[in-house]
Chains A and B, each alone.
Chain A
Amino acid sequence: MTGVEVVEVGPRACLVEVEDALAAASLAAWLRRSGLPAEEVVPAARTVLLDGVDPGAVRDLIPQWAAQPAAPPGPVVRVAVTYAGPDLDRVADHWGCTTEAVVELHTSLEFTSTFCGFAPGFAYLAGLPADRAVPRLDSPRARVAPGSVALADTWCGIYPTASPGGWLLIGTTDAELWDVDRAEPALLAPGTRVRFEVQQ
């Protein structure tokens, strides 16, 4: 494994730097299984933050990850989408295809939740090919409806609550993304695989 660095964040936290978000999600899952007594394990785009740890202990542990096989794949969640978002045409323009082809591609891919952030339960879903990257809006919308399914760069995400947002909206879902009364409050916790399907 190349490119793994441990950077201290004060005396009792550190960032482990990895190649990309999928590697971060995989490392985070492995660290949780490792028994390392961290208060928080926070994967992100190219790092995993370990909070409440001795950075030295993390440095000692990380070489063992290099020797590990890939993390077992997470559970699959199916998300039914009504593809009628206000930016569906815009995405089709970027991809040089019809809106039907946008839906076809989006429902054919398997996405992986790599990390959450921005709002509780908002997952950054990796899986869109690099040549399908789309820009954000020049000026974010003041309000994006909860359940909006959106794209930005090569990410897909679903807004769990109403919030401002600059991602391109392709549809909506009724899936319950965030519920503090569930044992796992986030439907799309890091590691979860996601398949989108057309709402019947």
Chain B
Amino acid sequence: MTAPVPGGAVEVVDPGPLSTLQDRGRRGWAHLGVPRAGALDRGAAALARRLVGGGPDDAVVETTVGGVVLRPHRAVTLAVTGATCAVRVGERAVAHGAPVTVPAGSRVTVGPAATGVRSYVAFAGGIAVAPVLGSRATDTLAWVGPPRLTAGDLLPLGPTPALPEPPPAVVVRPRDPVLRLRRGPRADWLDEVGWSRLDGSSYAIAADSDRVGLRLTGPRMSRRAGELASEGIVLGAVQLPPSGQPVVFLADHPSTGGYPVVAVVEDDDLDACAQLRPGDQVVLRLV
């Protein structure tokens, strides 16, 4: 990807530990084993798109903890949201959570994250790589979609929209470290003692958590022994493997799985899952 890109492009100078393109994900392919993918912190990605006057399906860059260095080859408006981090244009610090217009050739450094895990970088016009199965999201389980970003990539920019009127006021509410759960389809694999122990318990985020799932470590949830035939899984499903340590499935989860789904995380609490770091504590609460 080195030929000049007609509408202008953003060069990836340093992708950091993991940077991918994400949009709202691909729907309608789970029956073929394709994860939905999409931005893990949906609210933050949507805010970034709005700040640059983008549409709801524009692709943005999702970067993980270590950050990303990008160089737009033409003047462009961008915005960074999500995990709080320093944003620099050249040596100049600019605002997080606000639109910034940068000249062609600027070196834009995002991160590393001060709090949270995933920051989003939206560009006016969106990133116009070719969609795969109707989406520009990268899925890190089966690697459907554009490959993860690597140094030297040139990401084509879409046509620049009219800038948004007055930028929307950005209100970032602090999130309580609470995951509210509903009983799931296999709730009966956990007995009433297990349920009462789970409600209000604190779990730590394990180091091997990723876009596939948030792995929790804490009080062992003893479940019924036995095996379950593989069945379809939803975003936010809480699966309980024989270890008794629950896994909350996130955007890149496999479309089917064989461990019982004892609970489902409330949709409003899923964005918070995207920003929990290994070692952070969350309280599980039954609704």
Contact = CB atoms under 8 A, between A and B. Distances in A.
Interface of A: 7-11, 13-15, 28, 39-49, 51-52, 115-122, 180, 185-186, 189-190
Contacts of B231: 15, 44-47, 49
A10 B182 contact: yes
B234 A51 contact: yes
The 9 closest A-B pairs by CB, nearest first: A49-B232, A42-B232, A45-B229, A10-B264, A117-B256, A40-B30, A47-B231, A7-B185, A116-B33
Interface residues of B, number: 29
A39 B236 CA distance: 16
B285 to A, nearest CB: 15
Contacts of A14: 185
Interface string B190-229: 0000000000000000000000000000000000000001
A8 B185 contact: yes
A180 B133 CA distance: 6
The B interface, classified by DSSP as helix, strand, loop or mixed, is: loop
A44 B256 contact: yes
Contacts of A7: 185
B115 interface: no
B233 interface: yes
B106 interface: no
Contacts of A120: 29, 32-34, 142, 144
B31 A42 contact: yes
15 contacts: A9-B234, A9-B237, A9-B261, A10-B182, A28-B31, A40-B30, A43-B232, A46-B229, A47-B229, A48-B232, A115-B31, A117-B254, A117-B255, A120-B34, A186-B33
A47 B254 CA distance: 16
Interface of B: 27-34, 132-133, 142, 144, 182, 184-185, 229-234, 236-237, 254-256, 261, 264, 267
A68 B230 CA distance: 26
A33 to B, nearest CB: 14
Contact of B33 (A10, A11, A122): A122
Contact of B31 (A41, A46, A119): A41
Contact of A10 (B144, B232, B234): B234
A120 B256 CA distance: 11
A46 B256 CA distance: 12
A51 B29 CA distance: 12
Contact of B185 (A15, A48, A180, A185): A15
B234 A49 contact: yes
Contact of B32 (A11, A44, A186): A186
Given A119-B142, A180-B132, A42 B185 contact: no
B30 A42 contact: yes
Contact of A45 (B31, B32, B230, B255): B230
Contact of B232 (A11, A44, A186): A44
Given A13-B234, A120-B142, A40 B256 contact: no
Contacts of B234: 9-10, 13, 49, 51
Contacts of A190: 31
A136 B234 CA distance: 28
B232 A40 contact: yes
B230 A119 contact: no
Nearest to B229: A45
B31 A116 contact: yes
A119 B33 contact: yes
A28 B232 CA distance: 12
A67 to B, nearest CB: 24
Nearest to A41: B31
A101 to B, nearest CB: 30
Given A47-B229, A117-B230, A186-B33, 13 more contacts: A9-B264, A11-B182, A39-B28, A42-B30, A42-B232, A44-B232, A44-B256, A47-B231, A115-B31, A118-B33, A120-B34, A189-B31, A190-B31
B31 A43 contact: yes
A39 B27 contact: yes
Contacts of A28: 31
A108 B256 CA distance: 30
Contacts of B254: 117-118
Contacts of B34: 120
Contacts of B30: 40, 42, 49, 51
A42 B234 CA distance: 10
Contacts of A189: 31-32
